Chains A and B, each alone.
Chain A
Amino acid sequence: MSLELIKQIMDILIGLILVTPFLVIGSRRLVFCVKIIALQAVLLTAVSMLMAFYTQEAEIYMVAGLTFIIKVLFIPYLLYWVIKKIKVKKDTMDFIGTKTSLILAGMLVILSFTITPQALSKGDIMFGNSIPVAISLLFLGLFEIITRKQALMQVIGILMMENGLYLVGVGTTYGMPLVVELGIFLDIFVGALIMGVLTFQINRTFDSIDTNQLKNLKG
């Protein structure tokens, strides 16, 4: 593959990644959102594979494999299982409607393309577009956590932020050192498990996973 081709494929992948958060924000069906998060992780795996192919480094192949196992297979399956067990289908009413959310999300993307620090996208980066897209993911994940009221949606928001961070790493320095990358995977893995357990307990105690009920502690 020529360098030009790699760049073009990368641009397409990054563009597709930017589409995924909008699908999550536009939807209220939990299972669909979990599928989209898995799709996002598939795209990230593809980005890593391409990067690995380009740099010919074994470490990046390994990270790509781990991304696939943990973010594409394990976590979506876990979330899917939790959804099945506690029998929730739709998200409850949120602060703001879908249309407003989508418009705000679009504005956040524009914002992240404008504020992406010039210093962070100097010429020496191979895949310049990945940084603003990564920062968009960070923003949109945060947006998701703030506006959604359902516990699992907040977990999805956190996963999105983490994917964004992963993309920052890939886009700037071909990923973090392997030890750190492994540690981050471990944290995501355990974190998803613990958030799943807590969701269960919240559902058992409150009879729903609507975080609007979590408002008793004040002062």
Chain B
Amino acid sequence: MELLLLIIPLTVALLCTIFKERKILEVLNLLGATLCLIIVFFISRQVFANEYVNREWGLFYIDPLSAFVILIIGLVGFATAIYNIGYIRRDILNGVIKEERIKWYYFWYYIFIFSMFLVVTTRNMGVMWVAIEATTLASALLVAFYNNKHSLEAAWKYIIICTVGIIFALFGTFILYYAAVPITGEGSQTLNWINLMGAAGKIDPKLLKLGFIFILVGYGTKAGLAPMHTWLPDAHSQAPSPVSAVLSGVLLNCALYAIIRSHLIISKGIGIEYSSNLLIIFGLISMAVALPFVFVQYDFKRLLAYSSVEHIGIIAVAIGLGGRMAVYGAMLHMFNHAINKSLLFFVAGNITQRYRTKKIARIIGVLKAMPITGIALLFGAFAITGLPPFSIFISEFTILSSGFSQGRYIVSVIFLILVTLIFAGIMYFVVKMAFGEPPAKLALGGENFLTGALLLVMLTVLILFGVWIPPFFDQMLNQVVGVVGGGGI
């Protein structure tokens, strides 16, 4: 079954190269996303009912943590597939892209989805590296899709910085492999994270530490942890908006997933302090680095990109804090952020297509010009900055209270201050954009029905999870927490 998860996106991608007609591509796109989502639901049901998927082929293994990330990829991937249709149509209408090029858009989009599924279904750290590098390669041409000066610059920075960063991660993986070979022998099974966790206690601690540093820096580059985040605002702001949504909502989580796996291996070997502290430090730096850029931002999509840096920092801090409650918060936050940020990037896509600019100063009166998008913008921004009753408030609150109850006062206070300041920064800009009179020449109303419905559904999820976490979801989260790090508060 988990093989289908890889086969379907790959097949859809290959089919997309054959057809030129926009209608057929749209149908393929919807079909592929729906099939993926069905399989994702099937797999998560299986995994969370304690029947772990485990194939004799040896490369694949899905435990609750991977199933949870698969679920996020599936949901955001599906939402983006719906959004793709309206967005691409509008871009063709505006003359931004030519109709004959959209098959390459869909091709790379599905290759991208395929590579992300590969990251989270494999259990071999080496294959995981290969898959993460593949996500960079697949999305680089998507970032460059508009083919103008800015997008090419962003794509070039993206591919060079991420490839270099990730080479360090491979170096770290080599070190782990080298360290484990005397214990478990040569062969691909040694890089299996289950075996690595088993052997971690006997591995030379020095090598474990060295390997983890390289892995953290490497995958941290991809996850957008500061100070390796420099490619992120460029790539996320220049890519077509649906791609930005996937980059911010899901890809960052995939890189974090790789970091969490390594963190678990290292913690088994030398105790939890070493890697936890590193995660907290990098997390807080990311939150702090995002702050000034949020305050002086001129570009709406860059604003959202820096907010992603902040939220990845939050998740890293929460994983670093450890203990049941913080990890529960981290996982919930991963989910909330994925939904919330992709919603906001959809909004940003609608706005940029209508206003033909990303400059915050020139976007006024969204509520009047595009009522549904405007509502989604306003409430989406409330949610992302952590206001109640939205879901991110719950996850941030969980993380914070865990921090305080563990007695990590300094970390928690810095966390609280940064979150509050960023709230002020983002709301300042969003309120200016949402209210007021739209420019006279701007067309009013006329939003795509499908896109509007999508935005409202996502907004409902954000509110729903803010007031009530469904029992089945709570149970899932608890299972994930069981994998990542039980014990403690």
Query: What residues of chain A have their CB less than 8 Å away from a CB belonging to chain B?
Result: 117, 119-120, 124, 138, 142, 145, 151, 154, 158, 161-162, 165, 168-169, 172-174, 176-180, 183-184, 186-187, 190-191, 194-195, 197-198, 201-202, 205-206, 211, 213-217, 219
**Contact string, B279-315, partner A, CB cutoff 8 A, digits 1/0?**
0000000000000010011110010000000000000
The answer to the question of B134 belonging to the interface, with a C-beta cut-off of 8 Å to chain A, is yes
| A211: chain B residues within 8 A (beta carbon) | 156
Evaluate whether A191 and B156 lie within 8 angstroms (CB atoms) in the complex, with A138-B171, A172-B174, A180-B126 already known. Answer: no
| B137: chain A residues within 8 A (beta carbon) | 187, 190-191, 194
| B167: chain A residues within 8 A (beta carbon) | 138, 158, 161-162, 165
Evaluate whether A217 and B153 lie within 8 angstroms (CB atoms) in the complex, with A117-B210, A119-B207, A161-B164 already known. Answer: yes
Say how far A92's CB is from chain B's closest CB, in angstroms. Answer: 16
| B190: chain A residues within 8 A (beta carbon) | 177
The answer to the question of B177 belonging to the interface, with a C-beta cut-off of 8 Å to chain A, is yes
**Contact string, B209-249, partner A, CB cutoff 8 A, digits 1/0?**
01000000000000000000000011001100000000000
Check if A198 sits within 8 Å of B156, measured CB to CB: yes
| B147: chain A residues within 8 A (beta carbon) | 201, 205
Check if B181 sits within 8 Å of A158, measured CB to CB: no
CA distance A138 to B174 in the complex (A): 14
| A219: chain B residues within 8 A (beta carbon) | 293, 296-299, 302
Shortest Cβ distance from A125 into B: residue = B178
Check if A216 sits within 8 Å of B127, measured CB to CB: no
Shortest Cβ distance from A135 into B: residue = B171
CA distance A179 to B171 in the complex (A): 17
Say how far B114's CB is from chain A's closest CB, in angstroms. Answer: 13
Cβ contacts A to B, 25 pairs, < 8 Å = A145-B160, A161-B164, A165-B174, A168-B171, A176-B174, A176-B177, A177-B188, A180-B188, A180-B191, A183-B126, A187-B133, A187-B134, A187-B137, A190-B134, A195-B159, A197-B141, A198-B155, A205-B152, A206-B149, A206-B152, A214-B153, A214-B157, A217-B157, A217-B233, A219-B296
Check if B130 sits within 8 Å of A187, measured CB to CB: yes
Check if B181 sits within 8 Å of A191, measured CB to CB: no
Shortest Cβ distance from B118 into A: residue = A183
Check if A173 sits within 8 Å of B181, measured CB to CB: yes
The answer to the question of B273 belonging to the interface, with a C-beta cut-off of 8 Å to chain A, is no
| B177: chain A residues within 8 A (beta carbon) | 173, 176
Evaluate whether A179 and B59 lie within 8 angstroms (CB atoms) in the complex, with A119-B210, A184-B130 already known. Answer: yes
Check if B186 sits within 8 Å of A178, measured CB to CB: no
Check if B178 sits within 8 Å of A201, measured CB to CB: no
Check if B174 sits within 8 Å of A177, measured CB to CB: no
Check if B141 sits within 8 Å of A142, measured CB to CB: no
Say how far B408's CB is from chain A's closest CB, in angstroms. Answer: 32
CA distance A194 to B59 in the complex (A): 27
The answer to the question of B124 belonging to the interface, with a C-beta cut-off of 8 Å to chain A, is yes
Q: Apart from A117-B206, A217-B238, what 16 extra A-B contacts exist at CB < 8 Å?
A: A117-B210, A120-B178, A158-B167, A176-B126, A176-B177, A178-B188, A179-B127, A179-B188, A183-B129, A183-B130, A198-B140, A198-B141, A198-B156, A214-B157, A216-B150, A217-B153
User: Which positions 111-157 of chain B face chain A at CB distance < 8 Å?
Assistant: 124, 126-127, 129-131, 133-134, 137, 140-141, 144, 147-150, 152-157
The answer to the question of B187 belonging to the interface, with a C-beta cut-off of 8 Å to chain A, is yes
CA distance A179 to B148 in the complex (A): 38
CA distance A194 to B164 in the complex (A): 15
| A178: chain B residues within 8 A (beta carbon) | 188
Question: Chain B at the A interface: mostly helix, strand, loop or mixed?
Answer: helix
Shortest Cβ distance from A154 into B: residue = B160
Evaluate whether A191 and B153 lie within 8 angstroms (CB atoms) in the complex, with A119-B204, A186-B130, A217-B238 already known. Answer: no
CA distance A201 to B237 in the complex (A): 19
Shortest Cβ distance from A168 into B: residue = B174
Say how far B386's CB is from chain A's closest CB, in angstroms. Answer: 24
Check if B124 sits within 8 Å of A179, measured CB to CB: yes
Say how far A130's CB is from chain B's closest CB, in angstroms. Answer: 12
| B156: chain A residues within 8 A (beta carbon) | 151, 198, 202, 211, 214
Check if A194 sits within 8 Å of B140, measured CB to CB: yes
CA distance A96 to B426 in the complex (A): 41
**Contact string, B167-205, partner A, CB cutoff 8 A, digits 1/0?**
100110011011001100011101100000000000010
| A124: chain B residues within 8 A (beta carbon) | 182
The answer to the question of B163 belonging to the interface, with a C-beta cut-off of 8 Å to chain A, is yes
| B153: chain A residues within 8 A (beta carbon) | 213-217
CA distance A205 to B155 in the complex (A): 13
Interface centre among A176, A191, A195, A205 (most CB of B within 10 A): A176
Among A169, A202, A206, the residue within 8 A (CB) of B174 is A169
Report, nearest first, the 4 A-B pairs whose CB atoms are least far apart: A180-B126, A183-B130, A177-B188, A214-B153
| A216: chain B residues within 8 A (beta carbon) | 149-150, 153
Say how far A164's CB is from chain B's closest CB, in angstroms. Answer: 9
Check if A205 sits within 8 Å of B170, measured CB to CB: no
Shortest Cβ distance from B134 into A: residue = A187
CA distance A183 to B190 in the complex (A): 16
CA distance A191 to B237 in the complex (A): 23
| B141: chain A residues within 8 A (beta carbon) | 194, 197-198
| A138: chain B residues within 8 A (beta carbon) | 167, 171
